[in-house]
A and B are shown apart, each in its own frame.
Chain A
Amino acid sequence: MNESENRKIEIRSAVQKRLGKIGTHLFLSLWGIIVLFPFYWMILTSVKSYGSYNSEYVPKFFTLAPTMDNYITAFTAVPLARYFFNTFVFTVVTTAIMMFVVILSAFAFARLDFKGKDILFSMFLSLMMIPNELVIITNFVTITNLDLRNTFLGLILPSVTSVFYIYLLKENFEQIPEELYKAAKVDGTSDFRYLWKVMLPISKPTIITIIILKVIECWNSYVWPRLITDDSNYFLVSNGIQEIRENGFGRENVPAMMAAVVVISVPLVVLFLIFRRKIMAGVARGGTKG
């Protein structure tokens, strides 16, 4: 070790650090662009007029004459508002019923004692391994035989239970100290009042997580609605967009299609930007895509 060698090491480490920082930011920005570009492109295309879009052999990266016409087309030429409304109803009702079912079951498993609890719970858990693709076939037949195709009931019923969410909530319920329950019992609180007044407020973060995950799932669901609806009055946005792609707008009207895509994407993106932290924390805790 000597002075001049040390100076060299100092300079080299400082330069390396600086270069590394620059490289890191370049790399991250590149991926940021790859992620954001499709969003930019869909907004950009949605405000280009039909004529100008088709006349651009090399698409322009901006437009000087933005137009809202495509949005009008999107809502008038196809029943986009209808799809929206359907999805909204489907999402709200499915999530509400599921929360009811899930909370009651988690409560029973976490707080109540009954014969066969452990066996039943392990049976529930083993159901978690069953992929949706396996049971969807019979469900399709069942709903068809019940004459529930093209009804909200048919859309909603098979997706109002989730073993995974029951599990998640039950674990959360069980972390509430036993003393609280005993104290409530001494005060003469009924089980359901305790659930409503104590357990649910304490488990609020988990409940919100479950709601968020379910809403995202509902809003984006495609496969089941596609199987169960062929009447466009009952289409959800995913099916609607697929319908638009294949038959919509008479001819290949890309700007209008993009306007529809923007409209469909906006609710969840806005929801995400508002509840960013909650959603990300929730997904990290208990979510997978699909």
Chain B
Amino acid sequence: MKIVLKHLTKKFPNRNKKIKDEVIAVNDFDFEIEGGKLIGLLGPSGCGKSTALNLICGLEKPTEGQIFFDDIDVTNLPPENRGVGLVFQNYALYPHLTVRENIRFPLENLRGKDKLSKEEMEKRVQEAAALVQITELLDRRPSEMSGGQQQRVAIARALVKMPRVLLLDEPLSNLDARLRLQTREELKRIQVETGITTVFVTHDQEEAMSISDTIVVMKDGVLQQMGKPQEIYDEPVNLFVAKFLGTPQINVFEGKVEGGKVHIDDKAVLDAAGVSDREVYVAIRPEGFIVDKNGALTCKFINREVMGRDTSVVALHDKFLGDNIRAIIPSEEAVDHEDGTVSFSLKPFKVRLFDKATEERIKL
């Protein structure tokens, strides 16, 4: 099932009562989420992504705009009538109930023609448990399980009522690093197996990139960019998106375009044919550097960090914005830094230009 948001806006009164301005948590969201896909709502904390999730779920009512599930307007429908499953950041498992009772809980709420018999319930519980692979844990209580297991139970509880939309709020943030990696693959598998339209919220770009079919990048309640992970990584629409995606972070320099060339510190580093003269930000992905004695970009050499497969060259430059430049190069490559400097040439397709005034992308 697809989800359509039309001019969706949510304003909150300011917490500081002296300030009259409202906080706009979600500002004019207007897009369509394709059915049967896994969508990542990505943004820094406080950007309104959880509010957006709550709006889709129905726990919050929008100030303006509409929400459609397929072609049906559900804007004012209470959450219990929307047929959504929600997984909370802290899982919200009922601590006094066993895993089986937790998963069965939503089924016992069904009334009228949807009412299930005991056997049917047990069958559905077993299916859901099998899907998330916790069949052997059904008689435990939440407190007797690890975070990862609790997470699976929470997903099973959300799935057991066969929702049309599955919503996950920061599903992996309470897990340790190793478990997070494992669980996100698990999440992808479950989504593919069930084919349920799934929206999850995260502040971790790596997480969003690795499993989403589509990423929605947000900042301060405003949608920045929506698209496939690779697309967003390769073609960010503005400096914020470019900086938010990718680790190590993209390297941003102050520069200018003059006579069809990109200059950093008066040195032409790249062709920019067709771009009118102006001040720009030059953003270079870490993998966009080539160590080259004759390269135009000369930086102060700081350090060389070995990371196994790759090597990270840490350097400094006057026009660099931020702490350290990080360039990633293959381990076997030698780095010539005898005079305390290192020079790079650039891979053009790994360099993005942004207008200094608007921070919007300048297409080459």
| 20 contacting pairs across A/B (C-beta < 8 A) | A1-B69, A1-B72, A1-B83, A2-B72, A3-B72, A3-B73, A6-B72, A6-B73, A6-B74, A6-B77, A6-B81, A9-B77, A9-B78, A9-B81, A10-B76, A10-B77, A10-B78, A13-B78, A13-B81, A14-B76
Q: How far is the CB of B112 from chain A (nearest CB, A)?
A: 13
Q: How far is the CB of B79 from chain A (nearest CB, A)?
A: 10
B-contact bits for A1-23, CB 8 A (1 contact / 0 none): 11100100110011000000000
Complex contacts, A1 vs chain B, CB 8 Å: 69, 72, 83
Most B CB contacts (10 A, CB to CB) among A2, A6, A13, A14 go to: A6
Question: In this complex, what residue of A is CB-closest to B74?
Answer: A6
Q: How far is the CB of B113 from chain A (nearest CB, A)?
A: 13
Complex contacts, B69 vs chain A, CB 8 Å: 1
Secondary structure call for the B interface: loop
Q: Which residues of B contact A (CB under 8 A)?
A: 69, 72-74, 76-78, 81, 83
Q: Bound complex: CA of A3 vs CA of B69, how far in Å?
A: 11
Complex contacts, B72 vs chain A, CB 8 Å: 1-3, 6
Number of A residues with CB within 8 Å of any CB on chain B: 8
Q: Bound complex: CA of A10 vs CA of B80, how far in Å?
A: 11
Complex contacts, A2 vs chain B, CB 8 Å: 72
The residues in A between 81 and 97 inclusive whose CB is less than 8 angstroms from any CB of B are none
Complex contacts, A14 vs chain B, CB 8 Å: 76
Closest 5 CB pairs of A and B: A10-B76, A13-B78, A9-B81, A6-B77, A10-B77
Q: Bound complex: CA of A14 vs CA of B72, how far in Å?
A: 19
The residues in A between 1 and 52 inclusive whose CB is less than 8 angstroms from any CB of B are 1-3, 6, 9-10, 13-14
Question: In this complex, what residue of B is CB-closest to A14?
Answer: B76
- Cβ-Cβ contact count across A and B, 8 Å cutoff: 20
Question: In this complex, what residue of A is CB-closest to B82?
Answer: A1
Complex contacts, B81 vs chain A, CB 8 Å: 6, 9, 13
Complex contacts, B73 vs chain A, CB 8 Å: 3, 6
Complex contacts, B77 vs chain A, CB 8 Å: 6, 9-10
Q: How far is the CB of A56 from chain B (nearest CB, A)?
A: 49
Q: Bound complex: CA of A145 vs CA of B303, how far in Å?
A: 91
Question: In this complex, what residue of A is CB-closest to B83?
Answer: A1
Complex contacts, B74 vs chain A, CB 8 Å: 6
Q: How far is the CB of A64 from chain B (nearest CB, A)?
A: 43
Complex contacts, A9 vs chain B, CB 8 Å: 77-78, 81
Complex contacts, B78 vs chain A, CB 8 Å: 9-10, 13
Q: Bound complex: CA of A1 vs CA of B80, how far in Å?
A: 13
Question: In this complex, what residue of A is CB-closest to B76?
Answer: A10
The residues in A between 230 and 271 inclusive whose CB is less than 8 angstroms from any CB of B are none
Q: Bound complex: CA of A47 vs CA of B261, how far in Å?
A: 95
Q: How far is the CB of A12 from chain B (nearest CB, A)?
A: 9
Name 16 extra pairs, CB < 8 A, besides A1-B83, A3-B73, A9-B78. A1-B69, A1-B72, A2-B72, A6-B72, A6-B73, A6-B74, A6-B77, A6-B81, A9-B77, A9-B81, A10-B76, A10-B77, A10-B78, A13-B78, A13-B81, A14-B76
Q: Bound complex: CA of A167 vs CA of B78, how far in Å?
A: 49
Q: Bound complex: CA of A3 vs CA of B311, how far in Å?
A: 59
Q: How far is the CB of B2 from chain A (nearest CB, A)?
A: 14
Question: In this complex, what residue of B is CB-closest to A13?
Answer: B78
Q: How far is the CB of B67 from chain A (nearest CB, A)?
A: 12
Q: Bound complex: CA of A9 vs CA of B82, how far in Å?
A: 11
Q: How far is the CB of A3 from chain B (nearest CB, A)?
A: 6
Q: How far is the CB of A14 from chain B (nearest CB, A)?
A: 8
Question: In this complex, what residue of A is CB-closest to B81?
Answer: A9
Q: Bound complex: CA of A1 vs CA of B72, how far in Å?
A: 8
Q: Bound complex: CA of A46 vs CA of B266, how far in Å?
A: 94
Q: Bound complex: CA of A92 vs CA of B114, how far in Å?
A: 67
Q: Bound complex: CA of A231 vs CA of B74, how far in Å?
A: 77
Complex contacts, B83 vs chain A, CB 8 Å: 1
Q: How far is the CB of B29 from chain A (nearest CB, A)?
A: 21
Q: How far is the CB of A159 from chain B (nearest CB, A)?
A: 41
Question: In this complex, what residue of A is CB-closest to B69?
Answer: A1
Q: Bound complex: CA of A1 vs CA of B77, how far in Å?
A: 11
Complex contacts, B76 vs chain A, CB 8 Å: 10, 14
Q: Bound complex: CA of A6 vs CA of B76, how far in Å?
A: 9
Q: How far is the CB of A168 from chain B (nearest CB, A)?
A: 28
Question: In this complex, what residue of A is CB-closest to B70?
Answer: A1
The residues in A between 59 and 111 inclusive whose CB is less than 8 angstroms from any CB of B are none
Q: Bound complex: CA of A237 vs CA of B69, how far in Å?
A: 70
Complex contacts, A13 vs chain B, CB 8 Å: 78, 81
Q: Bound complex: CA of A3 vs CA of B71, how far in Å?
A: 9
Q: Bound complex: CA of A9 vs CA of B83, how far in Å?
A: 13
Q: How far is the CB of B349 from chain A (nearest CB, A)?
A: 47
Q: Bound complex: CA of A227 vs CA of B78, how far in Å?
A: 63
Q: How far is the CB of A244 from chain B (nearest CB, A)?
A: 50
Q: How far is the CB of B316 from chain A (nearest CB, A)?
A: 43
Question: In this complex, what residue of B is CB-closest to A16?
Answer: B78
Question: In this complex, what residue of B is CB-closest to A10?
Answer: B76
Q: Bound complex: CA of A23 vs CA of B78, how far in Å?
A: 21
Q: Bound complex: CA of A14 vs CA of B78, how far in Å?
A: 9
Q: Bound complex: CA of A182 vs CA of B80, how far in Å?
A: 58
Q: Bound complex: CA of A47 vs CA of B76, how far in Å?
A: 55
B-contact bits for A197-234, CB 8 A (1 contact / 0 none): 00000000000000000000000000000000000000
Q: How far is the CB of B305 from chain A (nearest CB, A)?
A: 39
Q: Bound complex: CA of A211 vs CA of B21, how far in Å?
A: 45
Q: Bound complex: CA of A13 vs CA of B73, how far in Å?
A: 16
Question: In this complex, what residue of B is CB-closest to A17?
Answer: B78
